[in-house]
C-alpha cells in the first residue's frame, strides 16, 4: 500500500485521496493518509515509464530519475524504488535515461535566443520560443491570483515626500526597462510580503523606505504563470503530449525564473533584461495577467502584473528605517 503522503506530485496525491481509504499507518512512510494498492497507480506510472529507455552505460535507476526530473516522491517515502518494482517489475539494477525529445525547447535553444536578442537580432530572432509545447507549459504553471494585499517599496529621497499616486507603476514615458517590462511599457511589480518588498529595493543601512499595500481593483479573476520552482509544479501525469518534449523544456522555464529573480547591475540592465522581457511579452500574448517568480533578496515571492490599472493602493503606507543590511558572499 502507498498513501498520498508518499508523493509530492499533486495529480497522484489527489488521485489517491479520491480513490483510496485511510487504513492503518502507511507501511512505506508511516502516515495516516488515504492509501491505494500499487496496481491502482499502474496506468500513470506506465505512461511515465514509456518516456524512458534502458541505458546500461551512464544511466540511473528509474526512481532516481523520476525524483530528479519531476520531484514525484516525498521525503517521507522510505524506498521509492520499491514502488517502481511493485508496479513495473523494474529494480534499481536496471539503468535508464530519458528518451530524446522531438518537439520541446531545450536550454541550449534558450541560450541561443538570449545571445541573439542581446547582440545580433533583437526584434526578429531566428530562435523564437513560439510553439505548442511552450504554450502548454505556461498553462500547466498557471495559477489564480489570490485576492490578497501585495506590497511595493520605495526608498525615501531626502527632503521629498511621496504621494500615494506616485507609489505605483510609473507612467509610460518614465518607465525604464525592468526584469519583465520593456522600456516605455510599465508593469506593476509587487511582493507577497513587506520584507521582500523592502529587500527588492536594496536599501542601505540607515535609509528610510515606504512600503505600501496594493489590492486588486477589479472583480476579474487574474491568472499568472508561476515560474517559481516549476519542476515541483509540473506533473507529467497531466501532460497530454510527449513527456520527453516537456522534460526538455523544464530547464528553460527554470532558467527564466532564475533570470527574473536575480538582480543585475543597473549599468547592464537594459541589455541583460532583454531575454526575460521577451518571454514575459510572450506570456502576455498568451492571455495571462502577469508572472510570479521567486525573490533572491527576500523570503517571499514577486509578481509582475502586465496591467497596473488592475490594482489600487491599499493605504495607509508604512514608513521604515533600515536598521541593518547583511551581506553573504561565496567564491565564484
Residue 208's φ and ψ, nearest 5 degrees, are -105, 140
pLDDT at residue number 64 = 95
Q: Which three cell numbers stand for residue 240?
A: 497530454
Asked whether residue 242 is domain-assigned, the answer is yes
Q: Same structural domain for residues 183 and 313?
A: yes
Domain enclosing residue 63, as ranges:
2-98
Q: Same structural domain for residues 139 and 170?
A: yes
Q: What angle is formed at CA 228 by the lines to CA 263 and CA 145, rounded to 5 degrees?
A: 110
CA–CA separation, 308 and 322 (whole Å): 28
Q: Which residue has the cell 508523493?
A: 7
Asked whether residue 330 is domain-assigned, the answer is no
Q: Same structural domain for residues 157 and 295?
A: yes
Q: Same structural domain for residues 93 and 122?
A: no
- Nearest Cα to 272, choosing from 189, 169, 177? 177
Asked whether residue 328 is domain-assigned, the answer is no
Asked whether residue 332 is domain-assigned, the answer is no
Q: Same structural domain for residues 35 and 161?
A: no
Residue by residue, DSSP assigns 94-108 as SEEEEPPPSS---HH
Q: Same structural domain for residues 217 and 235?
A: yes
Asked whether residue 327 is domain-assigned, the answer is no
pLDDT at residue number 34 = 92
Q: Same structural domain for residues 182 and 311?
A: yes
DSSP state letter for 279: H
**Block mean pLDDT (10 aa), the chain, length 332:** 93 94 89 92 94 94 94 93 92 93 80 86 78 85 95 80 74 88 94 92 84 93 93 89 89 86 68 87 93 89 95 87 77 76
Would you state the torsion angle of the CA atoms of residues 305, 306, 309, 313, taken in this order, to the nearest 10 degrees? 20
CA atoms within 13 A on the CB side of 229: 9
Q: Same structural domain for residues 89 and 130?
A: no
pLDDT at residue number 266 = 62
Residue 7's φ and ψ, nearest 5 degrees, are -125, 150
CA–CA separation, 140 and 253 (whole Å): 12
Q: What angle is formed at CA 204 by the lines to CA 200 and CA 205, rounded to 5 degrees?
A: 125
CA–CA separation, 287 and 234 (whole Å): 20
CA–CA separation, 257 and 267 (whole Å): 22
Q: Same structural domain for residues 62 and 149?
A: no
Q: Which three cell numbers stand for residue 136?
A: 502548454
Asked whether residue 270 is domain-assigned, the answer is yes
Q: Which residue has the cell 514575459?
A: 280
Cβ atoms of 296 and 262 within 8 Å: the answer is yes
CA–CA separation, 117 and 256 (whole Å): 15
Tell me the pairing of strands 290-294 and 223-226: parallel
Q: How many domains does the chain have?
A: 2
Sign, Cα dihedral of 199, 203, 205, 210: negative
Q: Same structural domain for residues 90 and 119?
A: no
Cβ atoms of 92 and 98 within 8 Å: the answer is no
Helices (H), 125-242: 132-140, 194-200
Given 98, 118, 138, the domain boundary residue is 98
Q: Order across the sheet with 95-98: list the strands.
A: 52-54, 95-98, 60-61
Given 98, 122, 154, the domain boundary residue is 98
Given 68, 98, 128, the domain boundary residue is 98
Q: Which residue has the cell 534558450?
A: 110
Q: Which three cell numbers stand for residue 150?
A: 501585495
Q: Which residue has the cell 543597473?
A: 266
Q: Same structural domain for residues 21 and 159?
A: no
Q: Same structural domain for residues 189 and 256?
A: yes
DSSP state letter for 156: P
Element holding 194 (H helix, E strand):
helix 194-200
pLDDT at residue number 158 = 67
Asked whether residue 329 is domain-assigned, the answer is no
Asked whether residue 331 is domain-assigned, the answer is no
Amino acid at each position: 500500500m502507498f498513501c498520498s503522503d508518499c508523493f509530492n506530485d499533486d495529480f497522484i496525491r489527489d488521485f489517491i485521496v479520491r480513490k483510496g481509504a485511510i487504513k492503518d499507518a502507511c507501511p512505506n512512510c508511516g502516515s495516516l493518509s488515504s492509501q491505494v494498492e500499487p496496481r491502482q497507480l499502474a496506468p500513470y506510472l506506465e505512461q511515465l515509464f514509456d518516456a524512458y529507455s534502458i541505458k546500461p552505460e551512464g544511466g540511473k535507476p528509474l526512481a532516481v530519475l523520476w525524483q530528479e526530473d519531476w520531484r514525484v516522491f516525498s521525503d517521507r517515502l522510505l524506498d521509492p524504488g520499491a514502488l517502481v518494482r511493485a508496479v513495473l517489475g523494474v529494480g534499481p539494477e536496471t539503468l535508464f535515461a530519458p528518451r530524446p525529445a522531438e518537439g520541446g525547447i531545450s536550454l541550449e535553444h534558450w541560450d541561443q535566443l538570449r545571445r541573439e536578442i542581446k547582440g545580433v537580432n533583437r526584434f526578429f530572432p531566428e530562435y523564437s520560443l513560439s510553439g505548442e509545447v511552450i504554450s502548454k507549459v505556461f498553462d500547466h504553471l498557471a495559477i489564480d491570483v489570490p485576492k490578497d494585499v501585495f506590497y511595493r517599496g520605495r526608498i525615501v529621497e531626502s527632503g521629498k515626500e511621496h504621494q500615494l499616486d506616485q507609489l505605483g507603476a510609473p507612467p509610460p514615458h518614465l518607465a525604464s526597462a525592468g526584469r519583465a517590462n520593456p522600456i516605455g511599457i510599465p508593469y506593476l511589480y509587487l511582493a507577497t510580503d513587506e520584507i521582500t518588498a523592502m529587500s527588492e529595493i536594496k536599501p542601505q543601512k540607515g535609509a528610510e523606505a515606504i512600503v505600501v499595500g496594493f489590492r486588486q481593483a477589479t472583480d476579474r479573476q487574474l491568472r499568472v504563470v508561476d515560474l517559481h520552482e516549476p519542476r515541483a509544479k509540473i506533473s507529467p501525469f497531466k501532460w497530454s503530449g510527449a513527456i520527453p518534449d516537456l522534460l526538455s523544456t523544464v530547464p528553460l522555464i527554470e532558467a527564466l525564473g532564475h533570470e527574473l529573480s536575480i538582480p543585475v547591475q543597473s549599468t547592464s540592465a537594459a541589455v541583460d533584461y532583454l531575454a526575460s522581457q521577451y518571454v514575459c511579452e510572450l506570456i502576455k500574448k498568451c492571455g495571462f495577467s502577469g508572472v510570479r517568480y521567486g525573490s533572491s533578496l527576500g523570503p517571499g515571492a514577486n509578481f509582475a502584473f502586465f496591467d497596473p490599472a488592475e490594482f489600487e493602493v491599499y493605504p495607509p503606507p508604512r514608513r521604515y528605517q533600515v536598521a541593518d543590511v547583511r551581506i553573504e558572499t561565496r567564491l565564484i
